[in-house]
Amino acid sequence: MDTKKKIFVTKQGLEEMKKELQDHEKVKRPQVLERVSQARAMGDLSENSEYTAAREELSLIDTRIEELSDMMKKVEIIDEGKASKAHSAVQLGSRVTVTINGKKEVFELVGEWEADPMEKKISHESPLGKALIGKALNDKIEVEAPAGKILYHIVEIS
């Protein structure tokens, strides 16, 4: 992970990140440590699959705790109030309504960590996100997709 790169998140995204970190530290890690301890008590560790599985899970949890802790040091909150006031151009935190072949779609521009295409939250680093940043109302943008080029027409920025 790039040590200087900022991680853009909304206030809600930061709360979710904190919640996940706390869950890993206070709930999941202690549960897995207990499993490791119980498996260790079973005897021969060289043939103890429960011990091996618990140690692997503990390693994954510790890695995620470290990753979340590092990410939280680089967090920059997306000022959604600023984005909603600056309707003139698309920026992080903007909700953008576009038409694609006459069909309306609404996307929210978020940081990579919060991106969720199923929820129409797109990363500013995605091809569509990069194309939208800085664009204004009524701009048309063309984005290369696996199915070919798609033409988007910006009809609302909020």
Domain assignments of the chain as residue spans, ordered by start: 7-77, 80-157
Point out which residues pair with 123 in neighbouring strands. Answer: 110
Query: Who contacts 97 (Cβ-Cβ below 8 Å, separation ≥6)?
Result: 104, 105, 106, 154, 155, 156, 157, 158
Per-residue pLDDT tens over the stretch 88-111: 789 998 999 999 988 999 999 999
Does the structure show a pLDDT above 90 at 43? no
Class of domain 7-77: mainly alpha
Residues 13 and 75: their CA atoms lie apart, in Å, by: 10
Mean pLDDT of 12-41: 93
Predicted local confidence at residue 1, as pLDDT: 47
Does the structure show a pLDDT above 60 at 23? yes
Let me know: does 70 contact 83? Beta carbons within 8 Å: no
CATH hierarchy code of domain 80-157: 3.10.50.30
DSSP 116: B
Let me know: does 25 contact 76? Beta carbons within 8 Å: no
Per-residue pLDDT tens over the stretch 67-83: 999 999 999 998 766 55
Amino acid at 116: D
Mean pLDDT of 34-41: 88
